[in-house]
Amino acid sequence: MTNKDQQKKISTTETEKNIHTDFTNNMTYGEYLKLDQILSSQKRLSDHHDEMLFIVIHQVSELWMKLILHEMTAAISSIEQGDMQASFKQLARVSKIQSQIIQSWDVLSTLTPSEYMEFRDLLGQASGFQSFQYRLIEFALGYKTPHVLKIYEKDAELHRELQQAFKAPGLYDVAIKALAKAGFPINSEVINRDYSIPHVADSTVKAAWLKVYQDVEQYWDLYQLAEKLVDIEDWLQQWRFRHMKTVERIIGFKMGTGGSSGVHYLKKVLDQRFFPELWDIRTEL
């Protein structure tokens, strides 16, 4: 066999190999989205019709939270790098996703107390309180409590991921650093603080944001960033409120699955604040 023939044979073999491994030209919608895996993941523990609703709503919410974390992580990086325009797009997308999650409570609220009681006991200790993605969102927003990490000690890899996020700077931390980079005299203890401790309202941060709102034209990028942060906190509190009212509508003031206090806990977290100075300055403007 000549060299030319050998090269032709190799070329033909490579082409055949690519045909069998490259599905770009004949890949289906279902294959790309892995629908066989996604749509086979709704495993009811009962024969009750409405359990499907309960499973789908929570699975969809977890997918939306995955996208929120994807965008928030990117926004934190963008702000750190001084790419404000990119962060605005990412944070605006987070707010739109939040609006979708809020509407999901309207669907779940079609589940009546009698219907839920038909399969609730089968959930055992499983509870939305255990959602690690929700905890990661809280961490990214700066709300961190050490006892939360204990919930995930059973899974060593997940626990490490949560610990890393727990100690990392959040969205508001990088926003405050952006204020300092813009020349505002921010308290050094705020800039160099332990990020595993929730941010406490600081007078220098408040004064900086107040100046931003009083001179929007000069500090346009910081002003836009501030409003994006307010949007996110506003939507999150609306999500929490709809969550609380939906739970109250379905189970009243019963103890939640997994041992949580249910509505009592959900009402309590409505008082949490993530970006205190951005709300406080509104009284003084």
- 170: domain CATH number is 1.20.58.480
- Within-domain flag for 22: no
Confidence of residue 1 (pLDDT cuts 50, 70, 90): low
Mean pLDDT over residues 39-62, rounded?
96
Q: Is residue 1 part of a domain?
A: no
Residue 6 has pLDDT above 60, yes or no: no
What rounded mean pLDDT belongs to the chain? Answer: 90
Please tell me the predicted confidence (pLDDT) of residue 12: 53
> Is residue 17's pLDDT more than 60?
no
SS3 category, 143: coil
In tens, the pLDDT along 168-211 reads 999 999 999 999 999 999 999 999 999 999 999 999 999 999 99
Cα distances from 73 to residues 65, 139, 179, in angstroms, run 12, 11, 19
pLDDT in tens, 127-159: 877 899 999 999 999 999 888 899 899 999 999
- Domain assignment present for residue 65? The answer is yes
Residue with tokens 């082409």: 15
In a domain, 163, yes or no: yes
Assess if residue 27 is contained within a domain: no
Residue 167's φ and ψ, nearest 5 degrees, are -95, -10
How many domains in the chain?
1
Task: Say if 143 falls within a structural domain.
Answer: yes
What's the domain range around 162? 47-284
Question: Burial of 159 by CB count in 10 Å (0-12 exposed, 13-18 middle, 19+ buried)?
Answer: middle
Question: What tokens appear for 45 in the block?
Answer: 């523990």
Q: Are 97 and 57 in contact (CB under 8 A)?
A: no
227 within some domain = yes
CB contact at 8 A, 281 and 210:
yes
The reply to whether 72 falls in a domain is yes
Considering only residues 21 and 214, tell me which one the structure prediction assigns the higher pLDDT: 214
**Predicted local distance difference test score (pLDDT) of residue 157:** 95
Higher-confidence position of 93 and 19? 93
